[in-house]
Amino acid sequence: MATQTYNEMRKLYITNPYSLNKWNFDGSLEFLEWTIIPTERSGFGGEPKFIDGQLNPNYEVLLVGYGVQQDEILRPFKQIDRVMDIQIQRLIFLNYFLTIGGIIFVFWIFYLEFSNRDNEN
């Protein structure tokens, strides 16, 4: 995975959120992005990247890479995940309670209706 990402860096383009470049760093997945200084189209001294369709040997840029590990990104959300799990359990309980309560209510209404009919006869 690191070799593939390194090869992508050598292509000298600016990443975007959909680039999805990553590698394993210290046992955790690390997401990477980078930018090219001064620009992707012209290097230092205004040299273009390509001349007549060929890579310009005088094209020089600085690639600045930055990354963040997946566990560092997700750490603040662990507490939120725990709270959400509790809320989901409560909603499931409420759903069961309302369903069973509704069924009991319907049977109770039928019972009252039929017991009133028996008392009238």
Query: What's the number of CA atoms in the CB half-sphere (13 Å) around residue 15?
Result: 20
Residues 15 and 58 in one domain: yes
What count of other Cβ atoms lies within 10 Å of the Cβ of residue 43? 20
Q: Which of 37, 58, 74 is the last residue of a domain?
A: 74
Q: Let me know: does 66 contact 30? Beta carbons within 8 Å.
A: no
Are the C-beta atoms of 33 and 13 separated by less than 8 Å?
no
Q: Are 65 and 32 members of one domain?
A: yes
Q: Which domain holds residue 20?
A: 2-74
Full-model pTM: 0.56
Q: What is the pLDDT of residues 33-77, one digit of tens each?
A: 999 898 877 888 888 888 888 888 888 899 999 999 988 888 889
